[in-house]
Amino acid sequence: MRHGRFYVGLAGVALVVTYLVWTGISDSMVYYLTPTELVAKVAEDPAFHTVGVKVSGKVVPGSYDRGEGELVHLFSVHDIEHSEVTFPVVYDGVLPDTFTDEIEVVLEGRFGEDGVFQAKTLLTKCGSRYEAAPEELDDRGTTG
Amino acid sequence: MGFVGGHQQRGDLVLSAERSIHIVFALLIVTSLGIMNAFLTDQFQYWYVANYSNRDLDVFYKLSGLWAGQRGSLVFWAVLLAFFSSLCVFLNRRRNREFMPYVVGILQGILGFFLVVLLFAGVNPFEQLGFLPVDGAGLNPQLQNYWMTIHPPVLYLGFTAFSIPFAFAMAALLKGRTDSRWIVLSRRWTLVSWFFLANGIIFGMRWAYEELGWGGYWFWDPVENASLLPWLTATAFLHSIMIQENRGMLKVWNMSLVLLTFLLTIFATFLTRSGLIESVHTFAENTKIALIFLAFMGSIFIASVVLIVHRRPELKSENQIESFISREAAFLLNNLILLGAAFAILWGTIFPLVSEAFTGEKIAVGPPFFNRVNLPIGLVLLALTGIGPVIAWRRATKRNLKRNFATPVVAGGVVVAILLGLGARNGYALWTFGISTFVLTVIVVEFWKGTRARARIEGEGFFPAFLHLIARNRRRWGGYIVHVGVVLIFTAFAGRAFEQEIRKTMNPGETVTVASPFGHTYTLTYEGMSSSREGNFERWVALMTIQKDGEALGAMSTERRWYPSRETMTTEVGIRSTLVEDLYVILADVEDLQGMVANDPAAQRIVVQVMVNPLVGWIWYGGVILTIGSLIALWPAAEIRKRAGAGAMADSSQETLAGAAPA
Amino acid sequence: MVILGALLLVGITVFLILQPILAEKEAPLQSAGEEPSEAQFRKRVSLLQLRDAEYEYAMGKLGEEDYQALRTEISGEALAAIRAESAESQAGSGVFEGPTDAELEDEIASVRSRLSGGFFCSNCGHANPAGSRFCGDCGTPIQAPTTSQLS
């Protein structure tokens, strides 16, 4: 084969990369759930308490409080669309500037057996970084 | 029109086509100036201006409103694209004429696509509100940062510039001139594009570091990844074209790479604009744009693949790889690894979408995946930056390897041993430092040997020899300098393994201490909070005085800001940079926020997070060195000189080369 | 006012685009013989490779044997390219950016003559006067090249 060495090299690197990607994804992928889905999953399979998950929800208005210790924050979340399922969250870290009541958040952490979500990371979603939200300026209902 | 003109050899059509490019450029400039003017004169009847500006906004940010939002940035992209197209046509108005009709045709196509998007996807930047607001909504405060303002333009320059090499490649296929000519013609454009992409990415990192306030600079966010992908493939392309030029190999590979890189530049802006993947970077979701972009990328892909397959016979390699241990093999490995990394990152980025489509379950793939995959890849790549310059072409003998690599390998080993002795244990960091030393040794020795050889041969002094050495072969030595920059950046990444972080609640007068991995200690004293009112925000500043090992070093501050027009609060971190590390202070929490806002003197209890980020500055310094190296490589050589007749040349060449033939 | 401006722009645009077709103005389709041909390209590449090889040998990067082998190979390729060039129907201009082919050849010849006038130590690159048996810098014994190997 004319380009034997080329193909061997290609195959070799492809194999290594595929291996890295495969194990990488299976080891580090996390489910991305709503609070309702999370509670349901945990009820189905109690072992799920030990698995890291990502949760997308909305902060329950008025639920925010400081916890004990520096930078410990307590609040509750429910689904973005409806508020039937809620659970409390404990987050240890710097609170994003945009954190307010009713803000949409993305949490990463574990859902403990005590029904409290221990969050390692907390991100807020404020629509889009580039788009303004104020409705007063947009009475046409168009988004850019 | 360009295509028809080229195919039928009709010069009038070609001229028409070329003029149309210049005209589009002129019209787009007018449009852009119109938008900028609307911002400067507070024309809030335009939806776009009202949503990205307000009266109090600094002029600098008003001007940059052109690219702050989806609509304006599309115009901005188009005008840059038109600029490069126009420049290319102008520079080649008398040269490369057999290519130009097709080049023009392709550029017209790309420009046309973006104009279609602007006109038909509901993204008119001049859309009016129907009433005149008193004031605009202002610009997101996190975008009010110098680096964030120049990061999109520089990145866009990189993305759009790559259309030119792509156009030349396709023109070569259309014309049938498939040797290295198109590569030589578009080499500079490729380097220009690569240069802007690299800097654009680094500026983005600088912004994230300063503004997002986590002490980090890269989050493997989908849009970050999307900008990295074309840079990776462009780097691969820059190297593989050297193989085609020198050895006539990898012709199909290069065609595919240029296509892939171009598609990735379009993919990058597609991802940002369509909102298809969740990211903190994206503009709001817009399905119309997504569909138009998908259609465009699809047709380009199909058309180009058809062309490549059609020309396959003419793209045969002239030589083969003779040995696994050779420069060709090293470059090839470099390519495969860069593409492997690009694939891994692409897969990780779109995996959530794919998984949801197939299994219905939503999955998230985050930094752990990307770091895990890219760390080993990065190490191999780093090593290659030192192996490539020195390993022999065609086949490297054992002698050759020993001669060139013995010292650098030993140097690397010595550094690792020293670090181990000092207590460093992080595996990846040690490997990085060792390999970085290896590469730097190789490059320094190269410069040294080259200068010395030249000094001897030309009878010059050392310094003139050094300058002439570089001037004679700018691409090579400029490239080595770029490698030095890259090494610095990788080393900076390794510094994160030694980060220090302390959190403390403080009242005025209290101190916090943090130790640097370099052996000294910083002590910060919290002096107190003060407040003031600036142009479009209010600020509350926490002042900290610094001591290093007992010696007073001045002060730094971190603050909260309130932007009334956006009703947003932001935190600005304090950064104190030295050559080897950054002292990074975050105002993590204010216990009594209401009190602070009311300027209550009792509300001064804060929580700070103090970090020492070792070697972070080397990213920025590395970027500067990378820039210098690129500029050297780009600098045009002496003017093209005319030759006497071809006949005289052939004779003298025969003489010189006859001396080389075996006796 | 704006409408007038827009109409003007459209008018100018239409005029500029249609003019070449109507008035039969053409963009040049040939580059007036300023383009190097394929064979000239290959020759150019060979010359550059030869020059690099000379410098690498002088730098001490390339050992004696490797250098000789490489030189023979590249010269062969260059000669093939020269023959191809004379056989070409359409003469390219052979104009490249940077030094002309002649200048490159001069450079190669000059490096070679320095190499033949004295010896570059293959270990450290130090230039030793003709007739030396040991390198004056690092002490490695010098392999004297035979006369047939020098141009």
| Distance of alpha carbon B479 from alpha carbon B464, whole angstroms | 20
pLDDT tens column, C90-121: 666 666 766 777 777 777 777 777 666 555 66
Give B 76-135 residues with CB within 8 A of chain C. 93-98, 100-101
Which residues of chain B are within 8 Å of residue A142 when distances are taken between CB atoms? 47, 122, 127
Kindly state whether residue C86 falls inside one of the protein's structural domains: yes
Neighbours of chain B (3+ CB pairs under 8 A): A, C
User: H-helix or E-strand containing A74?
Assistant: strand A72-78
pLDDT tens column, B1-54: 666 656 666 667 788 888 889 988 988 898 899 888 888 888 888 888 888 888
Beta bridge partners of B570: B561
How is B391-454 classified by DSSP, letter by letter?
SPSS---HHHHHHHHHHHHHHHHHHHHHHHHTT---HHHHHHHHHHHHHHHHHHHHHHHHHHHH
Per DSSP, the three-state class of C16 is helix
C60 in reach of chain B (CB within 8 A): yes
> Which residue from A46, A55, A35, A31 is spatially nearest to A122, judged by alpha carbons?
A55
Is residue C32 predicted with pLDDT exceeding 70?
A: no
- Per the model's pLDDT, the better-predicted residue between C20 and B614 turns out to be B614
CB contact under 8 A, A131 and B286: no
Side chain identity at B497, as an amino acid letter?
A: A
Q: Do chains C and A touch (3 or more CB pairs under 8 A)?
A: no
The helix, strand and coil proportions of chain C, stated in percent and rounded to the nearest 5, come to: 60, 5, 40
The residue length of chain B stands at 663
Counting as low any pLDDT under 70, the low residues of chain A are 1-3, 126-144
> Which residue from B170, B172, B164, B169 is spatially nearest to B190, judged by alpha carbons?
B164
Residues 6+ away with beta carbon under 8 Å from B542: B526, B528, B529, B557, B558, B559, B587, B606, B608
Mutate to test the interface with C, among B4, B12, B33, B320 (most CBs of C within 10 A): B12
In this prediction, residue B77 carries a pLDDT of: 93
> CA separation (Å) from B618 to B154, B418, B435, B438, C68?
20, 21, 16, 18, 43
Q: Do chains B and C touch (3 or more CB pairs under 8 A)?
A: yes
Kindly state whether residue C7 falls inside one of the protein's structural domains: no
CB contact under 8 A, B329 and A132: no
> Which residue from B288, B287, B264 is spatially nearest to B276, judged by alpha carbons?
B287
Residue with tokens 């190297």: B239
User: H-helix or E-strand containing A108?
Assistant: strand A104-111
Which residues of chain C are within 8 Å of residue B635 when distances are taken between CB atoms? none
How many domains is chain C built from?
A: 1
In this prediction, residue A140 carries a pLDDT of: 29
* Distance between first and last Cα of chain C: 79
Nearest chain B residue (CA) to A26: B369
Kindly state whether residue C45 falls inside one of the protein's structural domains: yes
Residue with tokens 């990213």: B619
Per DSSP, the three-state class of A87 is strand
Alpha helices, DSSP H only, in A46-108? none
The dihedral sign for the CA sequence B544, B548, B550, B555: negative
Let me know: does B279 contact B221? Beta carbons within 8 Å.
yes
Question: Which domain covers residue C76, as residue numbers?
Answer: 38-118
Percent of chain B with pLDDT over 70: 93
Kindly state whether residue C13 falls inside one of the protein's structural domains: no
In this prediction, residue C117 carries a pLDDT of: 56
CB contact under 8 A, A137 and B129: yes
Let me know: does B264 contact B233? Beta carbons within 8 Å.
yes
pLDDT band at C33 (very low <50, low <70, confident <90, very high): low
| Distance of alpha carbon B304 from alpha carbon B255, whole angstroms | 9
CA angle B461, B463, B467 (to 5 degrees): 115
Beta strands in B122-224 (DSSP E): none
The dihedral sign for the CA sequence B468, B473, B477, B479: positive
Which of B284, B364, B609 is the closest to A54 by Cβ? B364
pLDDT along chain B (663 residues), means of 10: 62 81 89 89 86 83 86 90 94 84 90 87 79 81 85 94 95 85 89 96 93 87 92 96 88 93 93 74 70 90 91 84 86 93 92 85 87 93 92 83 89 92 87 95 92 82 88 90 96 92 91 91 92 86 92 91 83 92 91 79 86 95 96 76 37 46 36
In this prediction, residue B290 carries a pLDDT of: 83
In this prediction, residue B641 carries a pLDDT of: 37
> What residue spans define the domains of chain B?
1-128+138-144, 150-354, 499-618
The residue length of chain C stands at 151
In this prediction, residue B574 carries a pLDDT of: 93
In this prediction, residue B302 carries a pLDDT of: 93
DSSP B472: H
Burial (CB count within 10 angstroms: exposed 0-12, middle 13-18, buried 19+), residue B580: middle
The dihedral sign for the CA sequence B408, B413, B418, B422: positive
Give A 82-141 residues with CB within 8 A of chain B. 94-95, 97-98, 108, 123, 125, 127-132, 134, 136-140
| Chains B, C: CB pairs < 8 Å | 180
User: H-helix or E-strand containing A49?
Assistant: none
> Which residue from B106, B109, B32 is spatially nearest to B71, judged by alpha carbons?
B32
pLDDT tens column, B489-517: 999 999 998 999 999 999 999 999 999 99
Which residues of chain B are within 8 Å of residue A129 when distances are taken between CB atoms? 140, 142-143, 280-282
Which of C110, C125, C151 is the closest to B453 by Cβ? C125
Which of B27, B181, B392 is the closest to C9 by Cβ? B27
Kindly state whether residue C72 falls inside one of the protein's structural domains: yes
pLDDT tens column, B206-256: 999 998 878 889 989 888 999 999 999 999 999 999 998 888 888 999 999
Which residues of chain C are within 8 Å of residue B646 when distances are taken between CB atoms? 85-86, 91, 94
- Count the neighbouring beta carbons within 10 Å of the beta carbon of residue B272: 22
In this prediction, residue A137 carries a pLDDT of: 33
pLDDT tens column, B257-308: 999 999 999 999 888 877 777 666 666 667 778 888 889 999 999 999 998 9
> CA separation (Å) from B453 to B174, B314, B472, C138?
45, 41, 14, 16
For B407, the token pair is: 């010292």
- Count the neighbouring beta carbons within 10 Å of the beta carbon of residue C137: 13
Nearest chain A residue (CA) to B368: A28
The residue length of chain A stands at 144
The dihedral sign for the CA sequence B358, B368, B223, B158: negative
- Count the neighbouring beta carbons within 10 Å of the beta carbon of residue B651: 9
| Distance of alpha carbon B399 from alpha carbon B379, whole angstroms | 26
Which of A25, A29, A129 is the closest to B281 by Cβ? A129
C45 in reach of chain B (CB within 8 A): yes
In this prediction, residue C151 carries a pLDDT of: 32
How is B266-287 classified by DSSP, letter by letter?
HHHHHHHHH--S--TTPPPP-H
Mutate to test the interface with B, among A22, A29, A34 (most CBs of B within 10 A): A29
| Distance of alpha carbon B290 from alpha carbon B270, whole angstroms | 7
DSSP B500: E
DSSP C145: P
Mutate to test the interface with B, among C49, C55, C90 (most CBs of B within 10 A): C55
> CA separation (Å) from B550 to B504, B520, B525, B612?
20, 10, 12, 17
User: H-helix or E-strand containing B493?
Assistant: helix B474-495
Side chain identity at B291, as an amino acid letter?
A: L
For B262, the token pair is: 């171009």
